[in-house]
Amino acid sequence: MTDFTTLTNPCSGVAFSAGITGVGGYLPEGVVTNQMLASRLDTDHDWITSRTGILERRIADESQSTSDLAVEAGSRALRSAANPEVQALVLATTTPDFRCPATAPYVAARMGLGKIPAFDVSAVCSGFLYATSVAVAYVNSGHFDSVLVIAAEKFSTLIDPNDRNTACLFGDGAGSVVISKVPVGTGGQILAHAIHSDGELESLIKVKGGGSRYPLSPHETVNRPRSDYFLGMQGREVFAAATASMSASVSDIISTAGWELDDLDWLIAHQANRRILNLVCKSLDIPPEKACVHLDEVGNTAGASIPLLLAAKSRQFKPGDKLVLTSFGAGATWGALAMTWPALGTIEAP
Ligand code: ACO
């Protein structure tokens, strides 16, 4: 079988592989605490913290759209990279600025990236891992030397502010990485990545209205229930599926990377729920302190949560540390990625 994971420079004989060479994150300024939610919904701080671990979340204001968050995060990732040149942009988002066209070309134009290929990827909370796997394939095939991946979500636009089942869980934000050719064996190298889906689980997390099945039209909108235009979620079923899928993905990717579980320095899991993180650690016998946690401050930022976590916790990581990234999201989609931490320039706090 052809090995697509490394490329060798015919002149120098040096083998190259895709690696992370820049990281950035951006959070909007508006903070919504549990107490603020409890003042207008039938919920309370103790219920939210005990069930989820979330204390507060950031919500973008009306003037900010997904592209605004994406430009901030992407610019920060490029500033942290030694070489800010990229030949493509892949944007993971569930909340594009418009239903048509994609948001990525506009983000590329605003960032002054030139007329590079730029497109959106939609895999909800697994969007970052899906977009990254596209970028890794581009780099490992030799098609591009460097690709900018951004995951940006104004997820609050999908949430009914009056639905206590979901309003407590989600927040807005954006994260970004630069994926470039790095010499094999150096920090940042992506050693293994895997993504999966199961459309049989489509109904677990869904916004029914506004797509081609139930188009957004004056007629449809008045005849369909209001709840169809916001995110609906079967919380307990999602909880069980997320725990099982992320545990299996982490275990599989560790063996694909040729590591043992004990080798793992940091688990970078999608930030949905503290109890899900604890259960994944317990099922794999990973010490819980190895699981990085940011959801207390930002809630579930969907596709943005993994790169935001990398940016927020970057000071904890040493070059060469072994990281596994994993996610589960609507679709259902899930996956994992094994990498070593790179030596980077200053990563700005999100
Ligand atoms: N305050 C008080 N009560 C609430 C609240 C709230 N904010 N939200 C729900 N409840 C109630 C429900 O109405 C329900 O009441 P009922 O039993 O009378 O019907 C009850 O609490 C549910 O309680 P539990 O089942 O004990 O709640 P659970 O422990 O499952 O926690 C939660 C609920 C937090 C939603 C959990 O199931 C969860 O985190 N699931 C995973 C969610 C997730 O990961 N989503 C992201 C997926 S990724 C993506 O792609 C979007």
pLDDT in tens, 223-232: 788 888 999 9
Q: What is the pLDDT of residue 164?
A: 95
Range of lowest pLDDT (97-101, 185-189, 287-291): 185-189
Residue 68's pLDDT band, with cuts at 50, 70 and 90, is: very high
The better pLDDT of the pair 267, 214 is held by 267
Q: What is the pLDDT of residue 8?
A: 62
For ligand 1, say whether the CB of 167 is within 6 Å of any of its atoms: no
Q: What is the pLDDT of residue 1?
A: 38
**In the predicted model, is pLDDT for residue 221 greater than 80?**
no
Active-site amino acid positions? 125, 270, 300
Q: Measure the CA–CA gap between 27 and 72, rounded to whole angstroms.
A: 9
Distance 112 CA to ligand 1 centre (A): 42
Q: What is the pLDDT of residue 227?
A: 87
Residue 115: Cβ-neighbour burial (10 angstroms; 0-12, 13-18, 19+): exposed
Residue type present at position 65: S
Q: What is the pLDDT of residue 3?
A: 47
Q: List the residue whose alpha carbon is closest to atom 49 of ligand 1.
A: 329
Please provide the distance, in angstroms rounded to a whole number, between the alpha carbons at the two ends of the chain: 42
**In the predicted model, is pLDDT for residue 5 greater than 60?**
no
Concatenated DSSP letters of 209-235: TTSSSS---HHHHHHS-GGGGS-EE-H
Mean pLDDT computed over every residue of the chain = 94
CA angle 232, 329, 124 (to 5 degrees): 85
For ligand 1, say whether the CB of 246 is within 6 Å of any of its atoms: no
CATH of 2-183, one of 3.40.47.10, 3.30.2030.30, 3.30.565.10, 3.40.50.200: 3.40.47.10
Q: List the residue whose alpha carbon is closest to atom 14 of ligand 1.
A: 165
**In the predicted model, is pLDDT for residue 282 greater than 50?**
yes
For ligand 1, say whether the CB of 304 is within 6 Å of any of its atoms: no
CATH of 190-293+300-340, one of 3.40.47.10, 3.40.50.300, 3.30.460.10, 3.40.50.1970: 3.40.47.10
Atom number in ligand 1 closest to CA 273? 39
Residue 300: Cβ-neighbour burial (10 angstroms; 0-12, 13-18, 19+): buried
> What number is the average pLDDT over the span 51-58?
98
* Range(s) of the chain covered by CATH 3.40.47.10: 2-183, 190-293+300-340
Q: Measure the CA–CA gap between 293 and 310, rounded to whole angstroms.
A: 10
Backbone angles phi, psi at 314, to 5 degrees: -60, -30
**In the predicted model, is pLDDT for residue 218 greater than 80?**
no
Q: List the residue whose alpha carbon is closest to atom 33 of ligand 1.
A: 235
